[in-house]
Chain A
Amino acid sequence: MRVNAGNLKKGEFVFFQGEICQVQKADFYSPGKGAALMKARLKNLVSAKNVEYAYKSNEQIEVLDVTSVEMQYLYKDNENLYFMDERTFNQSSLSISVVGEITRFFKEGEKMFVYMYNDKPLTIRPPMSVKLKIVEAEDAAKGDTVSGAKKPVKVETGATVMVPIFVKVGETISINPETGEYTGRV
């Protein structure tokens, strides 16, 4: 779909210098002299490197029509994450560096959406929230009841999350995987 670069949004996919990139950030910026711009941070989905670019806001660009397919997350090794399409049993892999930080909240066996373009997996569509069990946490120190006080806990995927001090080991919590923030108890 062709759009004005001024309408580009975070999460969309574009070709940049011949390679598929995902928009990490897109901000309107008008220097007041010269054309209004769309300042964009693009993540190259092959090299996983970010590049800063400034489009003219009225420049026509092609936003790729991608589909998302539900898949089961199987496992990971040092470099890749492996998924299976449960309807076709086809396996796909994605590089951890491309998917980024959110992989630390992925639990084996969970279902996720994988963005596809021309049958090629691009990256993960981040879930709104993930539910994970706390496996390690210190007990709140006595008297430490200041409102808003937080402590670090370890969840079952090994990631560390800051939670309110009253949350205990064994509880399941929901987390926004993109920000890594605790959003509530389940």
Chain B
Amino acid sequence: MRRVSAAGTPGPGDVSGSGGARGRPSRYSVSGLLRPLAKLPGVGVASFVTISVILLVAVVGPMVTPYDPVEQDFGALLAPPSAEHWLGTDQLGRDVFSRVVAGTRISLLIGVAAVLLAVTVGTVLGLLAGFLGGWVDTVIMRITDLFLAFPALILAMAVSAALGPSLLNVLIAVGAAWWPEYARLARSIGMVERHVQYVDAARGLGVRTVPILVTHVFPAAVPPLLVKATMDVGLAIVYIAGLSFIGIGVQPPTPEWGLMISDGRIYMQNAWWIATFPSLAILLTGFSFNLAGESLRDLLDPRHQATRKGTNAEPKLT
């Protein structure tokens, strides 16, 4: 029994409307391409299993790698994959396998942290704007618009370049580029929740705004935020790799995937393994998080349930 107040305001379940705020095909074209794939049976489970494995690698991997990821071995420069070095060595004799594994922790850590930062800032500001309305809404949304006016990657590049390249600054840069999308999403939920009966009831009982936001409004925002955040972790990892690739992200000798690709690309014709394996790691991680997000949406969003069961809404893909 929800009343939608403002005409055309997206409802809480309409996750796909959130990022479309930019009106560009950039991010959603990715998940748009993946959506049919996500609906294949077992893909959701497979993506969650893959993410679990990636998480496991991130946690225990660096402890069990055969070599120190930054140790240089001049006896084995540019060595091809072998029993000794499973994925070969790079131009400084460092073990590519150990570096890819060590890079998993770094990429995942910054990816998740950047999205968490964006979600936290975005949700707090968005819910306040939507729930309180009035001048608070106007001020917060105009700031959001300002941020949305720049393409996310350009903004992340500018922030990273201005702060100077470091691990923490990359995290801040990606977080800064992403929070407005969460603010928009949270705002739409705040606007709806502001008029639902249980919130009216709580208000009538004398509960103050902040407790209402925390106990009643925020839970309604969790499912769509979770879906978007899951998909964005994959994209954030790609962004971070991109920033490192162009030299304004994580700095050497940190084993970061983007950096490894950047180092290895000039050796592509003679030592393809240096850049190829970190690229595959990025592909696998980004892909898994995106598919997991799509599957989560189907699980959490009632309007997608029908298609999930594959009745007659969409023909099955073969």
- The yes or no verdict on A and B being binding partners is no
Interface, chain B (partner A; CB < 8 A): none
